[in-house]
Structure 1
Protein backbone atom coordinates (compact mmCIF):
# COMPACT_ATOMS: atom_id res chain seq x y z
CA UNK A 1 0.00 0.00 0.00
CA UNK A 2 2.81 2.39 0.86
CA UNK A 3 4.44 1.71 -2.53
CA UNK A 4 1.20 2.67 -4.30
CA UNK A 5 1.00 5.91 -2.33
CA UNK A 6 4.64 6.68 -3.06
CA UNK A 7 4.07 6.03 -6.76
CA UNK A 8 1.05 8.36 -6.76
CA UNK A 9 3.07 11.07 -5.02
CA UNK A 10 5.84 10.70 -7.57
CA UNK A 11 3.38 10.75 -10.46
CA UNK A 12 1.83 13.91 -9.00
CA UNK A 13 5.24 15.60 -8.73
CA UNK A 14 6.50 14.55 -12.14
CA UNK A 15 3.17 14.77 -13.97
CA UNK A 16 1.85 17.93 -15.56
CA UNK A 17 -1.28 19.98 -14.92
CA UNK A 18 -3.51 17.64 -16.93
CA UNK A 19 -2.56 14.70 -14.72
CA UNK A 20 -3.08 16.79 -11.59
CA UNK A 21 -6.56 17.84 -12.71
CA UNK A 22 -7.44 14.19 -13.23
CA UNK A 23 -6.06 13.23 -9.82
CA UNK A 24 -8.00 16.07 -8.15
CA UNK A 25 -11.21 14.87 -9.79
CA UNK A 26 -10.58 11.24 -8.80
CA UNK A 27 -9.77 12.27 -5.22
CA UNK A 28 -13.02 14.27 -4.96
CA UNK A 29 -14.96 11.31 -6.38
CA UNK A 30 -13.49 8.96 -3.76
CA UNK A 31 -14.37 11.47 -1.04
CA UNK A 32 -17.93 11.68 -2.36
CA UNK A 33 -18.23 7.88 -2.24
CA UNK A 34 -17.47 7.99 1.48
CA UNK A 35 -19.53 11.02 2.51
CA UNK A 36 -22.22 11.66 -0.13
CA UNK A 37 -23.21 8.25 -1.54
CA UNK A 38 -26.40 6.71 -0.22
CA UNK A 39 -25.68 2.99 -0.42
CA UNK A 40 -29.20 2.06 0.61
CA UNK A 41 -30.75 3.64 -2.49
CA UNK A 42 -27.66 3.74 -4.73
CA UNK A 43 -27.53 7.45 -5.51
CA UNK A 44 -25.30 10.42 -4.69
CA UNK A 45 -26.72 13.03 -2.36
CA UNK A 46 -24.46 16.06 -2.75
CA UNK A 47 -24.95 18.86 -0.18
CA UNK A 48 -25.59 22.39 -1.45
CA UNK A 49 -22.12 23.52 -0.32
CA UNK A 50 -20.53 21.19 -2.92
CA UNK A 51 -22.99 20.97 -5.82
CA UNK A 52 -24.05 24.09 -7.75
CA UNK A 53 -27.68 24.93 -7.04
CA UNK A 54 -29.85 26.94 -9.42
CA UNK A 55 -31.67 28.49 -6.47
CA UNK A 56 -30.47 32.12 -6.15
CA UNK A 57 -30.87 32.08 -2.36
CA UNK A 58 -28.52 29.08 -2.12
CA UNK A 59 -26.10 30.17 -4.84
CA UNK A 60 -25.55 33.67 -3.45
CA UNK A 61 -24.63 32.39 0.00
CA UNK A 62 -22.31 29.70 -1.40
CA UNK A 63 -20.48 31.26 -4.38
CA UNK A 64 -17.57 28.80 -4.11
CA UNK A 65 -19.88 26.13 -5.56
CA UNK A 66 -19.22 27.79 -8.95
CA UNK A 67 -15.91 25.92 -8.79
CA UNK A 68 -16.42 22.95 -6.45
CA UNK A 69 -19.14 21.44 -8.65
CA UNK A 70 -16.57 21.02 -11.43
CA UNK A 71 -14.55 18.47 -9.40
CA UNK A 72 -17.34 16.09 -8.33
CA UNK A 73 -19.19 13.50 -10.39
CA UNK A 74 -22.46 11.61 -10.13
CA UNK A 75 -21.33 8.04 -10.64
CA UNK A 76 -18.46 5.93 -11.93
CA UNK A 77 -19.56 6.12 -15.57
CA UNK A 78 -19.80 9.91 -15.32
CA UNK A 79 -16.23 10.39 -14.06
CA UNK A 80 -14.77 7.62 -16.23
CA UNK A 81 -15.97 9.17 -19.49
CA UNK A 82 -15.12 12.71 -18.39
CA UNK A 83 -11.56 11.81 -17.39
CA UNK A 84 -10.95 10.07 -20.73
CA UNK A 85 -12.08 13.16 -22.63
CA UNK A 86 -10.17 15.45 -20.23
CA UNK A 87 -6.96 13.49 -20.82
CA UNK A 88 -7.52 13.56 -24.59
CA UNK A 89 -8.42 17.26 -24.87
CA UNK A 90 -5.73 18.40 -22.40
CA UNK A 91 -3.02 16.55 -24.33
CA UNK A 92 -4.09 18.37 -27.49
CA UNK A 93 -4.36 21.73 -25.71
CA UNK A 94 -0.88 21.44 -24.20
CA UNK A 95 0.55 20.89 -27.66
CA UNK A 96 0.05 24.62 -28.26
CA UNK A 97 -0.42 26.26 -24.86
CA UNK A 98 1.05 26.25 -21.36
CA UNK A 99 -0.04 24.38 -18.23
CA UNK A 100 -0.97 27.68 -16.52
CA UNK A 101 -3.30 28.42 -19.41
CA UNK A 102 -4.83 24.95 -19.07
CA UNK A 103 -5.56 25.49 -15.37
CA UNK A 104 -6.84 29.01 -16.01
CA UNK A 105 -9.19 27.81 -18.74
CA UNK A 106 -10.49 24.96 -16.57
CA UNK A 107 -11.26 27.28 -13.65
CA UNK A 108 -12.70 30.23 -15.60
CA UNK A 109 -14.83 28.08 -17.90
CA UNK A 110 -16.27 26.24 -14.90
CA UNK A 111 -17.28 29.56 -13.33
CA UNK A 112 -18.72 30.91 -16.58
CA UNK A 113 -20.68 27.70 -17.27
CA UNK A 114 -21.95 27.69 -13.68
CA UNK A 115 -23.28 31.24 -14.05
CA UNK A 116 -24.93 30.27 -17.36
CA UNK A 117 -26.61 27.27 -15.67
CA UNK A 118 -27.94 29.36 -12.77
CA UNK A 119 -29.14 32.13 -15.11
CA UNK A 120 -30.77 29.69 -17.55
CA UNK A 121 -32.67 27.81 -14.86
CA UNK A 122 -33.72 31.07 -13.22
CA UNK A 123 -35.38 32.30 -16.42
CA UNK A 124 -36.85 28.84 -17.16
CA UNK A 125 -38.17 28.72 -13.61
CA UNK A 126 -36.49 25.35 -13.01
CA UNK A 127 -34.74 24.16 -9.88
CA UNK A 128 -31.88 21.65 -9.78
CA UNK A 129 -28.23 21.11 -8.85
CA UNK A 130 -25.35 19.99 -11.03
CA UNK A 131 -21.90 18.44 -10.60
CA UNK A 132 -19.28 17.42 -13.14
CA UNK A 133 -16.27 18.64 -15.08
CA UNK A 134 -17.98 18.36 -18.48
CA UNK A 135 -18.32 22.12 -19.02
CA UNK A 136 -14.62 22.75 -18.37
CA UNK A 137 -13.66 19.78 -20.57
CA UNK A 138 -15.82 21.13 -23.39
CA UNK A 139 -14.06 24.49 -23.04
CA UNK A 140 -10.64 22.83 -23.39
CA UNK A 141 -11.74 20.77 -26.40
CA UNK A 142 -13.40 23.70 -28.21
CA UNK A 143 -10.47 26.01 -27.42
CA UNK A 144 -8.05 23.57 -29.08
CA UNK A 145 -10.41 23.06 -32.00
CA UNK A 146 -10.77 26.82 -32.47
CA UNK A 147 -7.01 27.23 -32.60
CA UNK A 148 -6.23 24.15 -34.75
CA UNK A 149 -9.45 22.79 -36.33
CA UNK A 150 -7.71 20.83 -39.10
CA UNK A 151 -5.53 18.76 -36.75
CA UNK A 152 -5.60 15.09 -37.74
CA UNK A 153 -6.84 12.68 -35.06
CA UNK A 154 -6.55 8.92 -35.55
CA UNK A 155 -9.48 6.96 -34.12
CA UNK A 156 -9.87 3.21 -33.85
CA UNK A 157 -11.90 1.63 -36.67
CA UNK A 158 -12.78 5.05 -38.16
CA UNK A 159 -9.22 6.11 -38.95
CA UNK A 160 -8.04 9.69 -39.47
CA UNK A 161 -10.54 12.50 -38.87
CA UNK A 162 -10.22 16.23 -38.34
CA UNK A 163 -10.46 17.58 -34.81
CA UNK A 164 -13.39 19.81 -35.71
CA UNK A 165 -15.36 16.73 -36.79
CA UNK A 166 -15.11 15.24 -33.29
CA UNK A 167 -16.00 18.53 -31.59
CA UNK A 168 -18.95 19.13 -33.91
CA UNK A 169 -20.45 15.70 -33.18
CA UNK A 170 -20.23 16.30 -29.42
CA UNK A 171 -21.81 19.76 -29.72
CA UNK A 172 -24.66 18.45 -31.89
CA UNK A 173 -25.39 15.71 -29.35
CA UNK A 174 -25.59 18.33 -26.60
CA UNK A 175 -27.94 20.49 -28.68
CA UNK A 176 -30.19 17.52 -29.49
CA UNK A 177 -30.49 16.46 -25.85
CA UNK A 178 -30.91 19.90 -24.27
CA UNK A 179 -34.71 19.56 -24.15
CA UNK A 180 -34.78 15.80 -23.54
CA UNK A 181 -32.81 15.19 -20.33
CA UNK A 182 -30.30 16.91 -18.05
CA UNK A 183 -31.15 20.33 -19.48
CA UNK A 184 -28.98 22.13 -16.92
CA UNK A 185 -25.97 19.96 -17.71
CA UNK A 186 -26.26 20.61 -21.44
CA UNK A 187 -26.63 24.36 -20.86
CA UNK A 188 -23.38 24.24 -18.89
CA UNK A 189 -21.67 22.17 -21.62
CA UNK A 190 -22.60 24.65 -24.34
CA UNK A 191 -21.61 27.60 -22.16
CA UNK A 192 -18.23 25.97 -21.55
CA UNK A 193 -17.80 25.43 -25.30
CA UNK A 194 -18.62 29.09 -25.95
CA UNK A 195 -16.11 30.21 -23.33
CA UNK A 196 -13.39 28.03 -24.90
CA UNK A 197 -14.02 29.74 -28.25
CA UNK A 198 -13.90 33.23 -26.72
CA UNK A 199 -10.78 32.34 -24.71
CA UNK A 200 -8.80 31.52 -27.86
CA UNK A 201 -10.08 34.51 -29.82
CA UNK A 202 -9.04 36.86 -27.00
CA UNK A 203 -5.70 35.07 -26.71
CA UNK A 204 -5.05 35.55 -30.42
CA UNK A 205 -5.68 39.27 -29.91
CA UNK A 206 -3.19 39.44 -27.03
CA UNK A 207 -5.52 39.00 -24.01
CA UNK A 208 -4.72 35.98 -21.86
CA UNK A 209 -7.60 35.45 -19.42
CA UNK A 210 -5.71 32.67 -17.65
CA UNK A 211 -3.45 35.30 -16.09
CA UNK A 212 -6.35 36.18 -13.77
CA UNK A 213 -6.18 32.72 -12.20
CA UNK A 214 -2.38 32.80 -12.06
CA UNK A 215 -2.43 36.17 -10.27
CA UNK A 216 -5.01 34.98 -7.72
CA UNK A 217 -3.09 31.77 -7.00
CA UNK A 218 0.20 33.65 -6.66
CA UNK A 219 -1.43 36.17 -4.29
CA UNK A 220 -2.71 33.36 -2.07
CA UNK A 221 0.71 31.69 -2.07
CA UNK A 222 2.41 34.96 -1.17
CA UNK A 223 -0.12 35.60 1.60
CA UNK A 224 0.60 32.26 3.27
CA UNK A 225 4.33 32.68 2.71
CA UNK A 226 4.31 36.03 4.50
CA UNK A 227 2.25 34.73 7.42
CA UNK A 228 4.57 31.76 7.95
CA UNK A 229 7.78 33.81 7.80
CA UNK A 230 9.27 35.00 11.09
CA UNK A 231 10.13 38.68 11.62
CA UNK A 232 13.81 39.59 11.82
CA UNK A 233 15.90 42.59 12.74
CA UNK A 234 18.12 44.17 10.16
CA UNK A 235 21.72 44.32 11.37
CA UNK A 236 24.26 46.65 9.80
CA UNK A 237 27.91 45.81 10.09
CA UNK A 238 31.05 46.87 8.32
CA UNK A 239 32.80 44.25 6.31
CA UNK A 240 35.43 43.97 3.72
CA UNK A 241 34.48 42.75 0.32
CA UNK A 242 35.92 39.26 -0.05
CA UNK A 243 38.46 38.73 -2.74
CA UNK A 244 36.95 36.73 -5.52
CA UNK A 245 38.82 33.57 -6.27
CA UNK A 246 39.10 32.34 -9.80
CA UNK A 247 36.43 29.77 -10.46
CA UNK A 248 37.02 26.85 -12.73
CA UNK A 249 34.73 26.74 -15.74
CA UNK A 250 34.57 22.98 -15.49
CA UNK A 251 31.38 21.97 -13.67
CA UNK A 252 31.29 18.61 -11.99
CA UNK A 253 28.22 16.88 -10.65
CA UNK A 254 28.15 14.96 -7.42
CA UNK A 255 27.17 11.32 -7.52
CA UNK A 256 23.59 11.96 -6.31
CA UNK A 257 22.87 14.53 -9.01
CA UNK A 258 24.44 12.28 -11.62
CA UNK A 259 22.21 9.41 -10.52
CA UNK A 260 19.13 11.67 -10.64
CA UNK A 261 20.00 12.74 -14.18
CA UNK A 262 20.44 9.14 -15.26
CA UNK A 263 17.03 8.19 -13.79
CA UNK A 264 15.30 11.16 -15.47
CA UNK A 265 16.88 10.20 -18.78
CA UNK A 266 15.57 6.69 -18.29
CA UNK A 267 12.06 8.06 -17.62
CA UNK A 268 12.14 10.24 -20.73
CA UNK A 269 13.16 7.27 -22.88
CA UNK A 270 11.06 4.42 -21.45
CA UNK A 271 8.59 5.98 -19.00
CA UNK A 272 8.26 5.99 -15.23
CA UNK A 273 7.09 2.38 -14.99
CA UNK A 274 10.46 1.09 -16.23
CA UNK A 275 12.22 2.19 -13.04
CA UNK A 276 13.22 -0.34 -10.43
CA UNK A 277 11.88 -0.13 -6.89
CA UNK A 278 15.24 1.20 -5.66
CA UNK A 279 15.32 3.90 -8.33
CA UNK A 280 11.76 5.01 -7.48
CA UNK A 281 12.61 5.22 -3.78
CA UNK A 282 15.82 7.15 -4.50
CA UNK A 283 13.99 9.63 -6.77
CA UNK A 284 11.20 10.08 -4.23
CA UNK A 285 13.69 10.81 -1.42
CA UNK A 286 15.63 13.20 -3.63
CA UNK A 287 12.46 15.13 -4.45
CA UNK A 288 11.73 15.89 -0.80
Structure 2
Protein backbone atom coordinates (compact mmCIF):
# COMPACT_ATOMS: atom_id res chain seq x y z
CA UNK A 1 0.00 0.00 0.00
CA UNK A 2 1.47 3.34 -1.09
CA UNK A 3 1.84 6.42 1.08
CA UNK A 4 -1.15 8.21 -0.48
CA UNK A 5 -3.33 5.11 -0.19
CA UNK A 6 -2.28 4.73 3.43
CA UNK A 7 -3.23 8.34 4.14
CA UNK A 8 -6.62 7.75 2.51
CA UNK A 9 -7.19 4.67 4.65
CA UNK A 10 -6.12 6.50 7.81
CA UNK A 11 -8.49 9.34 6.93
CA UNK A 12 -11.46 7.03 6.45
CA UNK A 13 -10.75 4.80 9.44
CA UNK A 14 -9.48 7.34 11.94
CA UNK A 15 -12.78 8.99 12.85
CA UNK A 16 -13.67 12.65 13.32
CA UNK A 17 -10.66 13.59 15.45
CA UNK A 18 -8.23 12.37 12.83
CA UNK A 19 -10.25 14.02 10.06
CA UNK A 20 -10.19 17.36 11.87
CA UNK A 21 -6.42 17.02 12.23
CA UNK A 22 -6.13 16.19 8.52
CA UNK A 23 -8.22 19.24 7.59
CA UNK A 24 -6.27 21.63 9.80
CA UNK A 25 -2.84 20.37 8.73
CA UNK A 26 -3.88 20.24 5.07
CA UNK A 27 -5.18 23.81 5.15
CA UNK A 28 -1.85 24.86 6.66
CA UNK A 29 0.61 22.92 4.49
CA UNK A 30 -1.00 22.89 1.02
CA UNK A 31 -1.41 26.69 0.67
CA UNK A 32 2.08 27.18 2.11
CA UNK A 33 3.57 24.95 -0.57
CA UNK A 34 1.48 26.54 -3.31
CA UNK A 35 2.40 30.09 -2.37
CA UNK A 36 6.08 29.14 -2.02
CA UNK A 37 6.07 27.76 -5.58
CA UNK A 38 4.40 30.92 -6.84
CA UNK A 39 6.98 33.02 -5.04
CA UNK A 40 9.85 31.04 -6.57
CA UNK A 41 8.32 31.67 -9.99
CA UNK A 42 8.09 35.41 -9.25
CA UNK A 43 4.34 35.23 -9.65
CA UNK A 44 2.52 38.24 -8.26
CA UNK A 45 0.29 36.94 -5.45
CA UNK A 46 -1.22 40.32 -4.67
CA UNK A 47 -2.54 40.86 -1.17
CA UNK A 48 -1.36 37.52 0.22
CA UNK A 49 1.66 36.99 2.42
CA UNK A 50 3.41 33.97 0.86
CA UNK A 51 4.93 32.98 4.23
CA UNK A 52 1.48 32.90 5.81
CA UNK A 53 -1.29 32.89 3.19
CA UNK A 54 -4.07 32.68 5.79
CA UNK A 55 -2.90 35.68 7.77
CA UNK A 56 -4.76 38.08 5.53
CA UNK A 57 -8.06 39.54 6.67
CA UNK A 58 -9.85 37.74 3.83
CA UNK A 59 -9.47 34.46 5.73
CA UNK A 60 -8.98 35.38 9.40
CA UNK A 61 -11.64 36.56 11.83
CA UNK A 62 -11.55 40.32 12.18
CA UNK A 63 -12.37 42.13 15.40
CA UNK A 64 -14.33 44.65 13.32
CA UNK A 65 -17.95 43.39 13.15
CA UNK A 66 -18.49 45.21 9.84
CA UNK A 67 -16.07 42.79 8.18
CA UNK A 68 -18.55 39.96 8.77
CA UNK A 69 -20.77 41.54 6.12
CA UNK A 70 -18.32 40.72 3.33
CA UNK A 71 -16.72 37.58 4.80
CA UNK A 72 -19.33 35.83 7.01
CA UNK A 73 -17.46 32.52 6.55
CA UNK A 74 -14.65 33.80 8.77
CA UNK A 75 -16.72 33.33 11.96
CA UNK A 76 -16.16 29.59 11.52
CA UNK A 77 -13.35 29.35 8.97
CA UNK A 78 -10.76 30.84 11.31
CA UNK A 79 -11.01 27.68 13.46
CA UNK A 80 -9.44 25.59 10.66
CA UNK A 81 -6.52 27.93 9.92
CA UNK A 82 -3.21 28.54 11.70
CA UNK A 83 -0.51 31.18 11.54
CA UNK A 84 2.64 29.13 12.18
CA UNK A 85 4.13 25.67 12.55
CA UNK A 86 4.22 25.67 16.36
CA UNK A 87 0.69 27.06 16.42
CA UNK A 88 -0.76 24.19 14.39
CA UNK A 89 1.46 21.56 16.06
CA UNK A 90 0.43 22.43 19.62
CA UNK A 91 -3.24 22.76 18.68
CA UNK A 92 -3.34 19.41 16.89
CA UNK A 93 -1.61 17.61 19.77
CA UNK A 94 -4.14 19.13 22.18
CA UNK A 95 -7.01 18.26 19.84
CA UNK A 96 -5.86 14.64 19.67
CA UNK A 97 -5.63 14.46 23.48
CA UNK A 98 -8.94 16.23 24.18
CA UNK A 99 -10.78 14.55 21.32
CA UNK A 100 -9.86 11.03 22.38
CA UNK A 101 -11.06 11.78 25.90
CA UNK A 102 -14.31 13.29 24.64
CA UNK A 103 -15.06 10.23 22.50
CA UNK A 104 -14.75 8.05 25.60
CA UNK A 105 -18.14 9.41 26.66
CA UNK A 106 -19.76 10.91 23.55
CA UNK A 107 -20.21 10.32 19.82
CA UNK A 108 -18.23 11.59 16.86
CA UNK A 109 -21.18 13.67 15.66
CA UNK A 110 -21.34 15.39 19.03
CA UNK A 111 -17.62 16.18 18.89
CA UNK A 112 -17.85 17.75 15.44
CA UNK A 113 -20.98 19.67 16.39
CA UNK A 114 -19.30 21.00 19.53
CA UNK A 115 -16.23 21.99 17.50
CA UNK A 116 -18.35 23.99 15.06
CA UNK A 117 -20.71 25.63 17.55
CA UNK A 118 -17.99 26.56 20.06
CA UNK A 119 -15.86 28.07 17.29
CA UNK A 120 -18.76 30.29 16.20
CA UNK A 121 -19.58 31.25 19.80
CA UNK A 122 -15.94 32.06 20.61
CA UNK A 123 -15.60 34.07 17.40
CA UNK A 124 -18.61 36.22 18.28
CA UNK A 125 -17.35 36.75 21.85
CA UNK A 126 -13.96 37.73 20.38
CA UNK A 127 -15.61 40.44 18.31
CA UNK A 128 -17.72 41.63 21.25
CA UNK A 129 -14.64 41.78 23.45
CA UNK A 130 -12.89 44.20 21.12
CA UNK A 131 -15.96 46.41 21.03
CA UNK A 132 -16.99 46.33 24.70
CA UNK A 133 -13.95 45.81 26.93
CA UNK A 134 -12.22 49.11 27.82
CA UNK A 135 -8.78 47.52 27.38
CA UNK A 136 -9.50 46.57 23.78
CA UNK A 137 -11.91 49.23 22.51
CA UNK A 138 -10.39 51.14 19.62
CA UNK A 139 -8.00 48.35 18.67
CA UNK A 140 -8.24 46.14 15.62
CA UNK A 141 -6.99 42.58 15.40
CA UNK A 142 -7.48 39.33 13.52
CA UNK A 143 -7.55 35.76 14.73
CA UNK A 144 -6.92 32.25 13.38
CA UNK A 145 -6.62 28.93 15.18
CA UNK A 146 -8.62 26.01 16.53
CA UNK A 147 -7.72 26.69 20.18
CA UNK A 148 -11.14 27.94 21.31
CA UNK A 149 -12.97 24.93 19.85
CA UNK A 150 -10.39 22.55 21.32
CA UNK A 151 -10.77 24.14 24.76
CA UNK A 152 -14.54 23.66 24.51
CA UNK A 153 -14.00 19.94 23.87
CA UNK A 154 -11.55 19.62 26.77
CA UNK A 155 -13.67 21.56 29.27
CA UNK A 156 -16.86 19.75 28.21
CA UNK A 157 -15.20 16.41 28.96
CA UNK A 158 -13.85 17.71 32.27
CA UNK A 159 -17.29 18.98 33.32
CA UNK A 160 -18.87 15.64 32.43
CA UNK A 161 -16.18 13.46 34.06
CA UNK A 162 -14.13 15.74 36.34
CA UNK A 163 -12.53 12.88 38.31
CA UNK A 164 -11.47 10.87 35.27
CA UNK A 165 -7.78 10.08 35.77
CA UNK A 166 -5.19 10.91 33.13
CA UNK A 167 -1.55 9.90 33.27
CA UNK A 168 0.82 12.62 32.05
CA UNK A 169 4.48 12.17 31.25
CA UNK A 170 6.85 13.55 33.94
CA UNK A 171 3.86 14.52 36.12
CA UNK A 172 1.99 11.32 36.85
CA UNK A 173 -1.72 10.70 37.32
CA UNK A 174 -3.97 13.75 37.59
CA UNK A 175 -7.70 14.38 37.50
CA UNK A 176 -9.15 15.73 34.27
CA UNK A 177 -10.54 18.81 35.98
CA UNK A 178 -7.00 19.68 37.11
CA UNK A 179 -5.86 19.89 33.48
CA UNK A 180 -8.83 22.01 32.44
CA UNK A 181 -8.32 24.33 35.41
CA UNK A 182 -4.68 24.94 34.50
CA UNK A 183 -5.63 26.04 30.97
CA UNK A 184 -8.39 28.30 32.27
CA UNK A 185 -6.16 29.96 34.88
CA UNK A 186 -3.40 30.57 32.33
CA UNK A 187 -5.85 32.27 29.98
CA UNK A 188 -7.18 34.44 32.79
CA UNK A 189 -3.65 35.49 33.76
CA UNK A 190 -2.40 36.26 30.25
CA UNK A 191 -5.59 37.81 28.83
CA UNK A 192 -4.65 41.39 29.88
CA UNK A 193 -0.98 40.95 28.97
CA UNK A 194 -0.55 39.44 25.52
CA UNK A 195 -2.80 38.17 22.70
CA UNK A 196 -5.83 39.35 24.63
CA UNK A 197 -8.30 38.46 21.90
CA UNK A 198 -6.98 34.90 21.65
CA UNK A 199 -7.25 34.32 25.38
CA UNK A 200 -10.75 35.77 25.42
CA UNK A 201 -11.72 33.34 22.67
CA UNK A 202 -10.23 30.46 24.71
CA UNK A 203 -12.29 31.47 27.73
CA UNK A 204 -15.39 31.71 25.53
CA UNK A 205 -14.68 28.16 24.34
CA UNK A 206 -14.39 27.06 27.98
CA UNK A 207 -17.73 28.65 28.75
CA UNK A 208 -19.44 27.03 25.78
CA UNK A 209 -18.08 23.60 26.71
CA UNK A 210 -19.51 24.06 30.22
CA UNK A 211 -22.90 25.24 28.89
CA UNK A 212 -23.07 22.38 26.40
CA UNK A 213 -22.66 19.68 29.05
CA UNK A 214 -25.12 21.31 31.45
CA UNK A 215 -27.75 21.56 28.72
CA UNK A 216 -27.00 18.02 27.61
CA UNK A 217 -27.53 16.74 31.15
CA UNK A 218 -30.89 18.51 31.21
CA UNK A 219 -31.93 16.81 27.96
CA UNK A 220 -30.94 19.35 25.28
CA UNK A 221 -28.19 18.42 22.81
CA UNK A 222 -27.10 21.56 20.95
CA UNK A 223 -25.11 19.55 18.42
CA UNK A 224 -28.21 17.92 16.94
CA UNK A 225 -28.72 20.97 14.75
CA UNK A 226 -25.26 20.57 13.20
CA UNK A 227 -25.71 16.81 12.74
CA UNK A 228 -29.16 17.30 11.22
CA UNK A 229 -27.87 19.89 8.74
CA UNK A 230 -25.01 17.62 7.64
CA UNK A 231 -27.33 14.62 7.30
CA UNK A 232 -29.78 16.68 5.25
CA UNK A 233 -27.20 17.70 2.67
CA UNK A 234 -25.64 14.22 2.69
CA UNK A 235 -29.01 12.60 1.94
CA UNK A 236 -29.75 15.27 -0.68
CA UNK A 237 -26.51 14.42 -2.44
CA UNK A 238 -27.20 10.69 -2.27
CA UNK A 239 -30.70 11.09 -3.70
CA UNK A 240 -29.29 12.76 -6.81
CA UNK A 241 -27.07 9.80 -7.48
CA UNK A 242 -29.88 7.24 -7.32
CA UNK A 243 -31.97 6.50 -10.40
CA UNK A 244 -35.75 7.17 -10.22
CA UNK A 245 -36.55 3.75 -11.66
CA UNK A 246 -34.80 0.47 -11.33
CA UNK A 247 -35.01 -1.96 -14.20
CA UNK A 248 -35.55 -5.56 -13.08
CA UNK A 249 -34.32 -8.46 -15.20
CA UNK A 250 -35.70 -11.94 -14.72
CA UNK A 251 -33.19 -14.70 -14.88
CA UNK A 252 -34.51 -18.23 -15.23
CA UNK A 253 -31.06 -19.79 -15.22
CA UNK A 254 -29.13 -20.36 -12.02
CA UNK A 255 -26.40 -17.80 -11.32
CA UNK A 256 -22.95 -18.73 -12.52
CA UNK A 257 -19.94 -17.99 -10.35
CA UNK A 258 -17.65 -15.54 -12.08
CA UNK A 259 -14.28 -17.18 -12.18
CA UNK A 260 -12.68 -13.93 -13.36
CA UNK A 261 -13.07 -12.28 -9.96
CA UNK A 262 -9.66 -11.95 -8.42
CA UNK A 263 -8.91 -12.23 -4.69
CA UNK A 264 -7.64 -8.65 -4.78
CA UNK A 265 -11.05 -7.45 -6.01
CA UNK A 266 -12.79 -9.33 -3.20
CA UNK A 267 -10.40 -7.85 -0.64
CA UNK A 268 -10.98 -4.32 -1.90
CA UNK A 269 -14.75 -4.87 -1.75
CA UNK A 270 -14.46 -6.05 1.87
CA UNK A 271 -12.35 -3.00 2.72
CA UNK A 272 -14.89 -0.64 1.16
CA UNK A 273 -17.76 -2.30 3.03
CA UNK A 274 -15.92 -2.04 6.36
CA UNK A 275 -14.94 1.60 5.75
CA UNK A 276 -18.53 2.47 4.86
CA UNK A 277 -19.65 0.85 8.11
CA UNK A 278 -17.09 2.92 10.04
CA UNK A 279 -18.20 6.17 8.38
CA UNK A 280 -21.84 5.46 9.33
CA UNK A 281 -21.53 3.91 12.80
CA UNK A 282 -17.94 4.42 13.95
CA UNK A 283 -15.00 2.11 14.43
CA UNK A 284 -16.44 0.54 17.59
CA UNK A 285 -19.33 -0.91 15.57
CA UNK A 286 -16.99 -3.36 13.81
CA UNK A 287 -16.86 -7.01 14.83
CA UNK A 288 -13.62 -8.56 16.03
CA UNK A 289 -13.22 -10.35 12.68
CA UNK A 290 -13.66 -7.09 10.77
CA UNK A 291 -11.12 -5.31 12.96
CA UNK A 292 -8.60 -8.15 12.53
CA UNK A 293 -9.14 -8.16 8.77
CA UNK A 294 -8.65 -4.36 8.55
CA UNK A 295 -5.50 -4.60 10.65
CA UNK A 296 -4.01 -7.29 8.41
CA UNK A 297 -4.80 -5.33 5.25
CA UNK A 298 -3.25 -2.14 6.64
CA UNK A 299 -0.01 -4.06 7.16
Deviation at 1:24?
A: 0.8
Matches of residues 58-97 of structure 1 in structure 2 within 5 Å? 58-97=67-106
Deviation at 1:142?
A: 0.2
**Distance of 1:200 and 1:39 partners within structure 2:** 47
Q: 1:143 aligns with which of 145, 148, 156?
A: 156
**Distance of 1:35 and 1:110 partners within structure 2:** 27
Q: Does the CA-based 8 Å contact 2:35-2:50 persist in structure 1?
A: no
Q: Does the CA-based 8 Å contact 1:109-1:192 persist in structure 2?
A: yes
Cα 1:262–1:163 shift into 2, 3 Å: closer
Cα 1:186–1:259 shift into 2, 3 Å: closer
The number of equivalent residue pairs is 253
**Distance of 1:22 and 1:70 partners within structure 2:** 12
Matches of residues 270-281 of structure 1 in structure 2 within 5 Å? 272=295, 275=296, 279-280=297-298
1:31-68 Cα offsets, whole Å, 9 max, x none, are: 33135679898852433332111122211221111111
Q: 1:128 aligns with which of 124, 141, 145?
A: 141
Deviation at 1:222?
A: 2.9
Alignment of 1:31 onto 2:30: yes
Alignment of 1:175 onto 2:171: no
Matches of residues 1-288 of structure 1 in structure 2 within 5 Å? 3-34=2-33, 43-46=51-54, 47-123=56-132, 124-229=137-242, 231-232=244-245, 256=266, 264-265=291-292, 272=295, 275=296, 279-280=297-298
Deviation at 1:264?
A: 2.8
**Distance of 2:298 and 2:203 partners within structure 1:** 43
Deviation at 1:14?
A: 1.1
Deviation at 1:82?
A: 0.6
3-state DSSP of counterpart to 1:153: strand
**Distance of 1:212 and 1:151 partners within structure 2:** 29
1:200-225 Cα offsets, whole Å, 9 max, x none, are: 00000010011010111112223333
Cα 1:39–1:117 shift into 2, 3 Å: farther
Q: Does the CA-based 8 Å contact 1:112-1:195 persist in structure 2?
A: yes
Deviation at 1:108?
A: 0.4
Q: Does the CA-based 8 Å contact 1:32-1:72 persist in structure 2?
A: no
Deviation at 1:119?
A: 1.2
**Distance of 1:262 and 1:232 partners within structure 2:** 37
Which shifted more, 25-34 or 164-173?
25-34
For the aligned residues, what is the CA RMSD? 2.9
> Structure 2, unaligned stretches of length 5 or more?
41-48, 248-262, 272-287
TM-score (norm. length: structure 2):
0.76
**Distance of 1:174 and 1:141 partners within structure 2:** 14
TM-score (norm. length: structure 1):
0.79
